[in-house]
Amino acid sequence: MDRSDILVAKIGGSTLGAHDTTLEDIVALQRRGVRPVVVHGGGPLISEWLKAHGVPSRFERGLRVTDARTLDVVVAVLAGLVNKRLVAALTAGGGRAVGLSGADGGLFKARVLDGKLGYVGEVAEVDARLLLDLMEDGLVPVVAPIAVEWRGEAPTKQLLNINADTAAGAVAVALAARWLVFLTDVPGIRGEDGETVTALSSARAGALTEAGVIEGGMIPKVEACLKASAAGCRSVIADGRKTGALLEAIEDRTGTMVG
């Protein structure tokens, strides 16, 4: 199957619910023959729900420490509320979408990232066949970053919370996607002078990270872009709040191209 028309779009939790055109862009691209896959976050809404349930939020190295109580909320918000809102919005806009998580159909095989973080995982393998089959049927897969823990060659019953940025990168690599676009709440990557750069090499990304210019939640985005770029994917970080941002990003007219 030709995969040159596959686009992986990562929608950040900070832009969900914003008045942008991202979902309209996805429907428009699908009508043009592009095959989009959406991977989404939902961090701010998770924090709201945790607070409402009296569960404190704690982060280490930009990752949410996830104990059993936190995991219940993470799964409910990501695989439930956020995922289905996105599917409903895409459908209302004239698209055909199906919501799933990395736990469905063995999509993600994951392992625990660090015991200190609790039930936080990293994707060890993506089974691209499920996504390809859905796209072949004319559907937009909308993927929540939840996975099943695998130990060796066998799955367990344990669910894991996956960083959505790294999940999006892993999906793009597994699909041999043409584009990987991170839609966030900044215009792109800023250089030492504070100005947005149009292109970022691996070497400069490392230097900016070392200098603390690239920090926090931007680090996993850049790392995911570099991995996808090394696999032949055009990787862009762009401002998802901007009208037509996704359309412009795949035409290299906005954001920062990484790699």
Q: Which entry of 10, 12, 169, 227 is annotated as an active-site residue?
A: 10
Residue 191 falls in the annotated catalytic set:
no
Give me the DSSP letters along 171-239.
HHHHHT-SEEEEEESSSS-B-TTSPBPSEE-HHHHHHHHHTTSS-TTHHHHHHHHHHHHHTT-EEEEEE
Helices 43-52 and 68-75: crossing angle in degrees, nearest 10, is 120
Residue 227 falls in the annotated catalytic set:
no
Q: Which entry of 42, 165, 188, 259 is annotated as an active-site residue?
A: 165
Residue 20 falls in the annotated catalytic set:
no
Residue 165 falls in the annotated catalytic set:
yes
**126/100 Cα distance (integer angstroms):** 14
Residue 48, Cβ neighbours under 10 Å: how many?
A: 14
Per the structure block, which two tokens stand in for 114?
Answer: 């660090």
Residue 10 falls in the annotated catalytic set:
yes
Kindly give, in sequence order, each residue whose CB lies less than 8 Å from that of residue 203, ignoring residues fewer than 6 positions away. Answer: none
Q: Largest Cα–Cα distance of the chain, in whole Å?
A: 49
Q: Which entry of 12, 13, 42, 188 is annotated as an active-site residue?
A: 13
Are the C-beta atoms of residues 111 and 121 closer than 8 Å to each other? yes
Q: Which entry of 42, 118, 188, 221 is annotated as an active-site residue?
A: 221
Length of the chain: 259
Q: Which entry of 12, 41, 42, 43 is annotated as an active-site residue?
A: 43
Provide the annotated active-site residues: 10, 13, 43, 165, 221
